[in-house]
Amino acid sequence: MLKKIPNPYVRSLCEWLLAVAAAVLIFLVVRSFVFRFAHVSGNSMEPTLNHGDTVVLSRVHYLFGEPKKGDIVAFPYKENPSEYYIKRVIGVPGDVIDLTDYRFTVNGVPLSDEFSSEAVLALGDVRFPLTVEDGRYFVLGDNRNGSKDSRYAAVGCVPKGQMVGKVVLRVWPHNAFGGVK
């Protein structure tokens, strides 16, 4: 197609514009369907993630699969959808979540929580026990007493369709670069 353009300058300009358009298209496809970057704001995921960390969100994980217990996920703030909450999934559809004696249970079993061992003093405003509805997920911050999460009606259980992606990699700070569990 470009070989038919007789002027070499016009042909060169067209080739350059075509390359830029292809690069933009590839960027948009990757950003929409493969991954995104997110910045951690606040201390709700400490000690796993810290304020100022930059993480990579895999969008592919939930195109072909379901969120699993233990996954760290990102979803938009209701008040400002350009920013994300980043929390850990502890309840999947059908699970019964309860909060008794300052500890969470899932289906009657105490939450085996390697991410947070502190007693839960921030009870939230959701009534327990709570059964997680189909297509929704109960999420908590690892810093249980410093997190606004599914214990609060303003956040609630998160629909899968609102999840932007699974946190898979920390890229900043450089000395903490690596996978996230």
CA torsion through residues 72, 65, 36, 135, sign: negative
From 44, 116, 147, 150, the catalytic residue: 44
87 is known as an active-site residue: yes
Query: Rounded distance, CA 77 to CA 149, Å?
Result: 11
- How many residues are listed for the chain in this entry? 181
Separation in Å, CA 102 to CA 13, 91, 105: 67, 17, 10
From the candidates 87, 116, 147, 166, give the one annotated as an active-site residue.
Answer: 87
Our answer to whether residue 41 is catalytic in this structure is: no
Quick check: 40 and 55 in contact, CB under 8 A? yes
Q: Please state, as a whole number, how many other Cβ atoms lie within 10 Å of the Cβ of residue 130.
A: 18
Q: Which three-class secondary structure state does DSSP give residue 51?
A: coil
Strand order in the sheet with 103-106: 109-110, 103-106, 96-100, 130-131
Task: In whole angstroms, give the CA distance from residue 132 to residue 16.
Answer: 52
Q: Which residues are catalytic?
A: 44, 87
